[in-house]
């Protein structure tokens, strides 16, 4: 049985973002999903960090600040908070260093961190994360998770994740199975066997803790 876990931290209710997210994934193609996420970034105060990263042919600065709205110091700050500044500083041209098509001259983890830096610079009210740190090591993931919690504390955060231990402190969890919503509650309640005996999220989390998932 395949399950997707949608989690979000929300001081507000953003139905547009949630509905578009669901629609993009029902199409079941990364191309269509990336298109809708890019559309969201363009028309609303939304930032997206995806498993399939959206990067542009150009330089590092253009990828973090595509509209040129911020000074170099702000771009460097975003890169540092995304834990990519040290790497960019080693590149011959710094912020002017080339990003090849699809970011192919950066590792997958570095491409994800570039997208995170862009989201940090935008200071969006809605953040969509789809396996945003799946390609980084455990130490970097821990640092990034701390950054997300501190930098986006004022935001609505919608997350699709399989590293369940990184999202057990979220406000609400939605578990989908075969396209249907099967569980919807706080992580605390979903992990309580008295409230959800044989619950899907509880079972997945237990397997994750044992290294089976």
Is residue 80 classed as helix, strand or coil in its secondary structure?
helix
Domain boundaries, the chain: 3-209
Phi and psi, residue 58, nearest 5°? 165, -145
pLDDT of residue 20: 38
In whole angstroms, give the CA distance from residue 119 to residue 102: 18
Q: What is the pLDDT, as a whole number, of residue 148?
A: 87
3-state secondary structure of 135: coil
> For the chain, how far is it from start to end, CA to CA, in angstroms?
13
Specify the pLDDT at position 142.
84
Provide the pLDDT for residue 70: 96
Q: CB within 8 A of 46, min separation 6: which ones?
A: 17, 40, 124, 125, 126, 127, 128
User: What is the chain's mean pLDDT, rounded?
Assistant: 78
pLDDT at 56: 87
Q: Give the pLDDT confidence score for residue 52 in this predicted structure.
A: 62
**3-209, CATH topology level:** Rossmann fold (3.40.50)
E strands, the chain, in order: 3-9, 46-49, 58-59, 98-99, 126-130, 156-160, 172-177, 180-185
pTM of the model: 0.72
Q: Which pLDDT score is estimated for 19?
A: 38
Partners of 159 in the β-ladder: 7, 129
Q: Which residues of the chain have pLDDT under 70?
A: 1-46, 50-52, 213
Q: What is the pLDDT of residue 135?
A: 76
Q: Tell me, what's the pLDDT at 162? A: 73
Nearest Cα to Cα of residue 117 among 60, 52, 174: 60
Give the pLDDT confidence score for residue 9 in this predicted structure. 44
**pLDDT in the model for residue 71:** 97
pLDDT digits (tens, 9 = 90+) for 131-174: 777 777 888 888 888 888 888 888 888 888 777 877 888 889 88
């Amino acid at each position: 049985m395949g399950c997707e876990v949608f989690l979000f931290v929300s001081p507000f209710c953003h139905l547009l973002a949630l509905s578009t997210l669901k629609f993009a994934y029902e199409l079941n193609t990364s191309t269509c999903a990336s298109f809708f996420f890019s559309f969201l970034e363009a028309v609303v105060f939304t930032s997206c960090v995806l498993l399939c990263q959206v990067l542009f042919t150009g330089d590092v600065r253009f990828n973090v600040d595509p509209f040129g709205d911020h000074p170099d110091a702000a771009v460097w700050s975003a890169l540092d908070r995304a834990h990519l500044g040290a790497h960019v500083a080693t590149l011959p041209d710094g912020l002017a260093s080339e990003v090849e098509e699809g970011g192919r001259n950066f590792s997958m983890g570095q491409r994800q961190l570039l997208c995170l830096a862009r989201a940090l610079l935008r200071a969006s009210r809605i953040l969509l994360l789809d396996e945003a740190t799946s390609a980084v090591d455990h130490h970097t993931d821990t640092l990034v998770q701390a950054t997300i919690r501190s930098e986006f504390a004022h935001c609505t955060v919608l997350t699709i994740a399989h590293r369940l231990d990184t999202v057990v402190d979220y406000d609400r969890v939605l578990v989908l199975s075969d396209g249907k919503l099967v569980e919807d509650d706080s992580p605390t309640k979903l992990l309580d066997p008295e409230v959800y005996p044989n619950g899907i999220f509880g079972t997945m989390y237990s397997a994750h803790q044992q290294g089976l998932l």
